[in-house]
Structure 1
Amino acid sequence: MIQINEEKCSGCSYCVLTCPVDALTSYYVVEVNEKCTECKICYYNCPNYAIILPHGGS
């Protein structure tokens, strides 16, 4: 499952808005839930490079 680097995350919610399975939520910090399919759409849309892919994938 992906992770969010909270130090880099600005809270812009681009990842939340682009996730096709609603695996991300954003209130005060972005959180990932079990719906995540590791499709990487959030990774490619994050302007702050705050998405950490599993196993260091790209």
Structure 2
Amino acid sequence: MGLVSYVKESYSELTNHVSWPSWSEAQKLTVTVAVFSIVFALIIWGIDSVFSKVITNYFSWIKNS
């Protein structure tokens, strides 16, 4: 009975006590999250590329020494 009670209380909480954003606000927030996710992914890709080149050059330098 604990699981059934949990689901009922969760549904009640979501329908009665949560303030949902309007459709336009939800769209705006979704676009904001998508843009920041893409920017963050590009930054991580750039840092990864730089470190990859640095490590490759370092091991190449070690091998040739």
Structure having the higher helix fraction is 2
TM tier relative to shorter chain: under 0.3
User: Which of structures 1 and 2 has the bigger CA Rg?
Assistant: 2
Structure having the higher strand fraction is 1
What's the TM-score, normalizing by structure 1?
Answer: 0.18
What's the TM-score, normalizing by structure 2?
Answer: 0.17
Greater relative CO (CA pairs within 8 A, separation 6+): 1
